[in-house]
Protein backbone atom coordinates (compact mmCIF):
# COMPACT_ATOMS: atom_id res chain seq x y z
CA UNK A 1 0.00 0.00 0.00
CA UNK A 2 1.30 3.42 -0.85
CA UNK A 3 2.29 5.46 2.23
CA UNK A 4 -0.06 8.37 1.46
CA UNK A 5 -3.04 6.07 1.05
CA UNK A 6 -2.18 4.26 4.26
CA UNK A 7 -1.94 7.57 6.06
CA UNK A 8 -5.30 8.68 4.72
CA UNK A 9 -6.98 5.43 5.74
CA UNK A 10 -5.44 5.69 9.19
CA UNK A 11 -6.91 9.17 9.48
CA UNK A 12 -10.36 7.93 8.58
CA UNK A 13 -10.13 5.27 11.27
CA UNK A 14 -9.55 7.94 13.92
CA UNK A 15 -12.53 9.60 15.59
CA UNK A 16 -12.67 12.95 13.85
CA UNK A 17 -14.95 14.98 16.07
CA UNK A 18 -16.52 14.29 19.40
CA UNK A 19 -20.29 14.26 19.19
CA UNK A 20 -20.65 16.16 22.42
CA UNK A 21 -17.86 17.66 24.44
CA UNK A 22 -20.11 18.45 27.38
CA UNK A 23 -22.38 15.57 28.37
CA UNK A 24 -24.95 15.72 31.11
CA UNK A 25 -23.89 13.74 34.22
CA UNK A 26 -20.48 13.01 32.72
CA UNK A 27 -17.11 14.43 33.83
CA UNK A 28 -15.92 17.55 32.03
CA UNK A 29 -13.77 16.63 29.03
CA UNK A 30 -10.04 16.17 29.34
CA UNK A 31 -9.41 19.38 27.45
CA UNK A 32 -6.66 21.87 28.22
CA UNK A 33 -6.93 25.53 27.26
CA UNK A 34 -4.71 28.57 27.85
CA UNK A 35 -5.89 31.56 29.82
CA UNK A 36 -6.51 34.74 27.82
CA UNK A 37 -3.35 36.37 29.20
CA UNK A 38 -1.31 33.39 27.99
CA UNK A 39 0.34 32.78 31.36
CA UNK A 40 -0.97 29.27 32.13
CA UNK A 41 -3.36 26.54 31.11
CA UNK A 42 -6.29 24.94 32.86
CA UNK A 43 -7.48 21.39 32.21
CA UNK A 44 -11.27 21.23 32.43
CA UNK A 45 -11.21 17.71 33.85
CA UNK A 46 -9.27 19.02 36.84
CA UNK A 47 -11.97 21.49 37.88
CA UNK A 48 -12.86 19.73 41.11
CA UNK A 49 -13.24 21.00 44.64
CA UNK A 50 -15.98 23.57 44.94
CA UNK A 51 -18.72 23.39 42.29
CA UNK A 52 -17.93 25.38 39.14
CA UNK A 53 -20.01 27.79 37.15
CA UNK A 54 -18.52 27.29 33.68
CA UNK A 55 -19.47 30.17 31.42
CA UNK A 56 -19.07 30.09 27.66
CA UNK A 57 -19.15 33.66 26.40
CA UNK A 58 -17.63 36.32 24.18
CA UNK A 59 -17.08 39.99 24.87
CA UNK A 60 -19.38 40.79 21.97
Partner 1 sequence: MPVWYAAAKPLIEEGLLRVVGITQEQHPDRCELYAQWQGYDFPILWDPFNLTQSTAVPMAMGVDGAGVLRDRRVDARSTDKLRAFTNKDWIHDVVSPAQPYPGVTLEVARTGVHGRNLNSARQAGVALLLFHRVLHGTPPDAKVFETSLLKIGGYAGMEGAAVDARFHLGVAHRLRYDSEHSQGSDFQASLDAWLGALLENPGQYIWRRRIQQWGPRLDKPYPFYDWVATAQAELTERGETPVVVRVPLTGSEVAGSTKEIPLREQEDLDPDPKGRTPRDTRGLVTIESAAALHTGIASKRVREPAGTARIHLVLKPGKNVHWGNEAGPATIWVEVPEGWNVRRQLWTLPLPEEVSTSEVRRIDFEVRPPLGPPTPGTIRGVAYYPLCEGEDGTCNLWAQPFEVTIPLPDPGDGDDDDEDDEDGGADR
Does position 56 interact with partner 1 (CB under 8 A)? The reply is yes
Position among 1, 2, 5, 11 found at the interface with partner 1 (CB under 8 A): 11
Does position 5 interact with partner 1 (CB under 8 A)? The reply is no
Output phi, psi for 42, to 5 deg.
-130, 135
Does position 1 interact with partner 1 (CB under 8 A)? The reply is no
CA distances in angstroms from 28 to 23, 24, 57, listed in the order given: 8, 9, 17
| CB atoms inside a 10 Å sphere around CB 47 | 13
What residue ranges bind partner 1 (CB under 8 A)? 7-8, 10-14, 16-18, 20-42, 44-60
Amino acid sequence: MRPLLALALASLATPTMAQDVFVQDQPLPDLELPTIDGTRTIRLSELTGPPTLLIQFASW
